[in-house]
Structure 1
């Protein structure tokens, strides 16, 4: 199956070509949507075959490179169109195509009747193709092509409703902020290629060759510069401080797009990139510390904003930013496996949550449309009591909420707890570990609170929609609920492939299959870290791990209990709290005014500079020269046109005078 890896990105690309060229003529939504979903499903089947074959091989044989042809060759520089299959890329293509297929199926029902239906599925297939190219590319430049591709598709899909100014602005914001990060990615790529080549005569951007020569890299120094540049790219793609503000605005796109961006594709690219380049990152303690600090800070900062939002999709957006912070925290403490594990489980429950929110919005919009109401179908303050009208959506949403809250037995518990444990026990950052763990644990408590706040406001209590609209509330069609059911099941069972050792021992030594599976990818980095920190190795007891695990669960239960008390037992208290602390609530509701700060520091000065250059150069210089030449020509023309009178005798007199002038010139010179 490895020889057919090229089929995985090819199928979505075929969908792009067919729907892009002929979709407008086909017009049939079932054919267009079915084709788009079929292409991704075909990629999923090939991915399954490759994944199964990979598992049948020994740990040392779990890597295969398929080079199709040489793409660029100039002097010492060479870049291939080639694909790398190893445990990390195999896992990613399973997640991208599996979750992506369910989102495509969901979109057939959700986008029914939308103008530009074919255009939507063309973009969706292109998004999937770009992400597959990113995770399968065997070199940095091919990864960057996919990296730019998902950036382009995010612009197209976020701004899908281009007739809305807010959607257009959100698309441009995502595009511009990602360009800032991409500049860092390119700087890192150029610097690493230059350093390897000039210092060690290793001219390559191939991942396997870079990993094989990683021992030539020094600890710190130029490696810190390289990794920080790449990390700047990661903060843009994966929405970390300071380049995170585009992601909440991405809610302007259709809800399935939000699910695809937030769960399976674009925002996980930065985490994947660090995982893929772990052999470089582990050689810079400074960068690892910055990654951990930024991840922890983003996790708690975004979680705090999520506690005061009322738009159901915006709450989930800040939840994504926060969960990505946990993944970067894991990467920063050297727990690469835990970070990728949380990436996988998060894809399951976050896709389910976004698609569940879309199901709610679909029902709300239908009900409000029937009574010609202009109330916001995404505002949770207009919802309530939906669990009886939408039982499947409610149950799948509840399961995924429990998972993201980190309750034992659900997928999010296993991955998030592993990150918190590694943040505390890993000796990489010494005394900083306690702060990192505490920040992550508090962020997890915030997560439990605002997610159950969302559930209680949406599905419990009295329905706050207008009375006439209540009878029109109903469960979404099967094409929408089926993906919810599949993802809900995965949100429960997805974490059991990575049972922590301390829990596995209780059940007779159940192994951590996920850690064992990814071991070939991160083995070198773990060995290097062990060598560097052998004098600081911490041998923490199982009792301590159980204690920290219990503490994180208690914190999550406290968050759930507070949400239950405020929104079920005493729903009048939140309004009183807001009235008592208006400034605090206003600050959190307005996202701590970060967007306004960025406008003041960057956006407005850039606009002012642009206006100055336009008025000072374009208007005065360019337009001045053009208009000046035109004025001279116009003036000359105005004088000369008086000569053209149309009378023959005037022309005769002019000729006579001309002859006199010429003769006089030659006689008297």
Structure 2
């Protein structure tokens, strides 16, 4: 490797792709738009692979300072990028999965208007996410943090002519501003107490002061949690993510799997030295994660839109990652982030293939019997379903089991509680994912032979398999969903926990493994698999053996069923408590005050002032020479008086 890794090129190339397609793409043929977008994503991926191949020879952490960005007194912030073990994993996920989604998008979006605009937005999203990951300081991370919020707004609202899509984009943007406000307050506190926003300098000061516990570090951590709950869709700011499915399916895969929603988990892991000094913040983080995992899973039990089920599963799985960070098992959280990127991207892209096959249909109640009609989509999605449900030896089993085990052995007083919530949620996850599997692919076909929808999905030729430009990424992600977890096989299961050791310089895991821990971990793994198996069995009974049961059960517990179907009516609650009062305040009180008091009043005041001045000037500019002489004499007398009484010394002519 050369002395410089040119890390700045990794985000710059996607930005160049955004500029080319954004400015000129309207005039380009689709093939050229596609080529630009692919190349702009492939080059960073190849560069990251090259860094990974030579990673062992690097002196870490590695920093590249492009130049001084802001200087204000003693404070300065550099435009600098940094690389360590955590950064490398995130770069591989973002560029690798991101490139596969770009490939898939060429097939899925082939018949869309605004094709060039879509790929320009995708490249812009990649630019901001890579900036976030590579940032050496909080300020540059915040630029990427805000940027992915902007790009998500553009992508979620891609079908801006649809009110639901436009509203979903606005909702994502506004809700994330709440979390971003927390991030800003955290940065202000960091500047106040550390005098810098550089990760390295902040963490060095913390390391040099072991007496710093709680206090201002807790305040910083809590504000960072607020920021993370926004980006990573945790309670109470999760409400934007389920609506994000209004964007094209590849957007859902990109946001839910590999990029934006993982930003909060990455940020918490990156700043874990702050959280380690605040047991209260860690407990808060663990409780938010466990509550979100369970809450979202219960909603996913009854949803009928295939993408909405996957959206709530994303919220739930992110809860697991927060739970891991809350019990200080940061490497376990990143491990699940890695495997989740594989199987969740696959789930969304496979769902997109199903939607494509059914000419835009997303309701699972009118699916069924697709197993033999779209076999490649079926088998690849099956790999993802097994992975997310934690069935061994698929990827999700190892990462989810590691989180549950770390929660169980955590010294945190709530460790056993969040372990039980996580275990129960694992059973719910297996149920709703196999429910999706059975409703979509098994039983009698309920699919409609429809013409293409408004967005061009389907071609009016009946149910059909997707083209290979879409199936290729599915196959690759299916392989990764099987083997992706093998980098973290624990010693209790015959592995060496490679990813934990790899991340140890960054996450600083606990020391020696206690005696008997391996047998305990193995027992807990068996318990989690049994719980997942129970969830699968119940789904098999209700949606394959006796498919009449769900309707009968829904009728018996109609109130609970309606509550879950309506997502606990949280959106309605937010609308009544927050949105409606704010709209009333802005539309009637502030609008009336500002429009009537400031705009109208100011306009009238300016008008009367101008009228008065005009009247005065009219008298002065009378056209009468004698009048002019009088005004001149009056002015001269005034100047003489000022000079006589000594006021002239205060004026300079």
TM-score past 0.5 threshold: yes
Structure 2 partner of 1:494: 484
Residue 631 of structure 1: how far off its partner (Å)? 11
1:518 aligns to 2:503 (yes or no): yes
| 2:364 aligned partner | 380
- Alignment map for 1:367-406 (pairs within 5 Å): 377-406=361-390
Return the TM-score normalized by structure 1.
0.87
8 Å Cα contact 2:190-2:196 kept in structure 1: no
1:625 to 592, 595, 601: 601
The equivalent position to 1:611 in structure 2, one of 575, 578, 587, is 587
Q: Which residue of 2 aligns with 1:19?
A: 21
Distance 1:48 1:422, change over 3 A: same
Q: Secondary structure at the match of 2:359?
A: helix
Cα 1:619–1:10 change in 2 (3 A) is closer
Deviation at 1:81, TM superposition (A): 1.3
Q: Does 2:444 match 1:450?
A: no
Deviations 1:456-504 (A, max 9, x none): 0001111102368896111000000000000000000000000112112
Deviations 1:56-93 (A, max 9, x none): 45xxx332101111111121111111110100001111
Q: Is the alpha carbon distance of 1:603 and 1:538 closer, same or farther for their aligned partners in structure 2, counting shifts above 3 Å? A: farther
2:275 equivalent to 1:281: yes
Q: How does 1:230-629 map to 2 (within 5 A)?
A: 230-365=224-359, 377-427=361-411, 429-430=412-413, 432-466=414-448, 472-504=462-494, 510-523=495-508, 526=510, 541-614=517-590, 616-622=592-598, 624-625=600-601
**Residue matched to 2:53:** 52
Give the C-alpha shift of residue 339 in structure 1.
Answer: 0.2
Q: Separation in 1 of the partners of 2:5 and 2:595?
A: 60
Q: Which residue of 2 aligns with 1:372?
A: none
**539-548 vs 347-356, greater mean Cα deviation:** 539-548
Following superposition, the deviation at residue 526 of structure 1 comes to 4.2
Measure, in 2, the Cα distance between the counterparts of 1:352 and 1:34. 23
Runs of 4+ residues deviating >4 angstroms: 467-471, 537-540, 626-633
Give, in whole Å, the separation in 2 of the partners of 1:79 and 1:526: 33
Q: Report SS of the residue matched to 1:213.
A: helix
Q: Tell me the distance in 1 between the aligned counterparts of 2:574 and 2:449.
A: 43
Q: Which residue is equivalent to 1:644?
A: none
How far 1:113 sits from its partner (Å)?
2.0
TM-score after normalising by structure 2: 0.89
Give the superposition deviation at 1:331.
0.2
The Cα of 1:519 is off from its aligned counterpart by 1.0
Q: Contact 1:62 / 1:520 at 8 angstroms: preserved in 2?
A: no
CA contact (8 A) 1:54 1:62 kept: no
Distance (Å, rounded) in 1 between the aligned partners of 2:37 and 2:14: 7
Shift, 1:31, TM fit: 1.3
**Distance in structure 2 (CA, Å) of the matches to 1:346 and 1:618:** 49
Distance 1:425 1:539, change over 3 A: farther
Partner-residue secondary structure (3-state), 1:180: helix
Q: Deviations over 1:435-461 (max 9, x none)?
A: 111100011111100001001000111
Specify the SS of the correspondent of 2:408. Answer: helix
Query: Deviation at 1:619?
Result: 4.6
Q: Quote the residue 1:62 is aligned against.
A: 60
Greater shift after overlay, 28-37 or 252-261?
28-37
CA–CA separation in structure 2 for the residues paired with 1:496 and 1:565: 31
Q: 1:630 to 1:434 in 2, by over 3 A?
A: closer
1:263 to partner: Cα distance:
0.5
Q: Are the aligned partners of 1:37 and 1:105 in contact in 2 as well (CA < 8 Å)?
A: yes
Partner Cα distance (2:587, 2:66) in 1 = 48
SS of the residue aligned with 1:384? Answer: coil
Residue 647 of structure 2 corresponds to: none
Matched-pair contact (CA < 8 Å) for 2:449–2:463: no
The CA distance in 2 between the partners of 1:184 and 1:540, in whole Å, is: 42
2-structure distance, mates of 1:229, 1:539: 38
Return the offset for 1:194. Answer: 0.8
Give the distance between the partners of 2:328 and 2:606, measured in 1 at CA.
Answer: 67
Deviation digits for residues 117-158 of structure 1 (CA, Å, limit 9, x no counterpart): 111111000000100000001011000000000000010000
**17-26 vs 128-137, which moves further:** 17-26
- How far apart, in 2, do the equivalents of 1:38 and 1:615 lie? 49
1:34 corresponds to: 35
Answer with 75-84 or 98-107: which moved more: 75-84
Q: Could you list the per-position Cα deviations for residues 514-543 of structure 1 after superposition, in whole angstroms to 9, with x for gaps in the alignment?
A: 1111111112x647xx9xxxxxx9765333
Bigger drift between 1-10 and 356-365 goes to 1-10
Residues 416/270 of structure 1: CA separation in 2 closer, same or farther (3 Å cut): same
The answer to whether the Cα contact below 8 Å between 2:358 and 2:448 also exists between their aligned partners in 1 is no
Q: Is the 8 A contact 2:41 2:99 kept in 1?
A: yes
Name the SS for the 1:89 alignment partner: helix
- SS of aligned partner of 2:77: strand
- Distance in 2 between the 1:17 and 1:403 partners? 38
**Residue 167 of structure 2 corresponds to which residue in structure 1?**
169
CA contact (8 A) 1:29 1:108 kept: no
Aligned equivalents of 1:120, 1:615: Cα separation in 2 = 36
1:15/1:122 contact within 8 Å kept: yes
Question: d(CA) in 2 for partners of 1:93 and 1:440?
Answer: 28
Could you tell me how far apart the structure 1 residues matched to 2:158 and 2:450 are? 32
Question: C-alpha separation between the residues in 1 aligned to 2:500 and 2:450?
Answer: 54
The answer for the alignment partner of 2:134 in structure 1 is: 136
Alignment of 1:139-154 (within 5 A): 139-154=137-152
Unaligned runs of 5+ in 1: 197-202, 367-376, 505-509, 531-536, 637-669
Distance 2:84 2:386 in 1: 32
Q: Any conservation in 1 of the 2:68–2:78 contact (CA below 8 Å)? A: yes
Shift of 1:5: 1.6
Aligned to 2:96: 98
- Kindly tell me: are residues 620 and 17 of structure 1, through their superposed partners in 2, closer, same or farther at Cα, counting changes over 3 Å? closer
Q: Is the 8 A contact 1:425 1:540 kept in 2?
A: no
SS at the partner of 2:237? Answer: coil
Structure-1 separation of matches of 2:83 and 2:536? 42
Asked if the contact 1:411–1:496 (Cα under 8 Å) also holds between the matched residues in 2, the reply is yes
Shift of 1:544: 2.2
1:92-118 Cα offsets, whole Å, 9 max, x none, are 111000000000000001001211111
Residues in 1 aligned to 2:72 and 2:608: alpha-carbon distance in whole angstroms: 52
Residue number among 206, 221, 230 corresponding to 2:215 in the alignment: 221
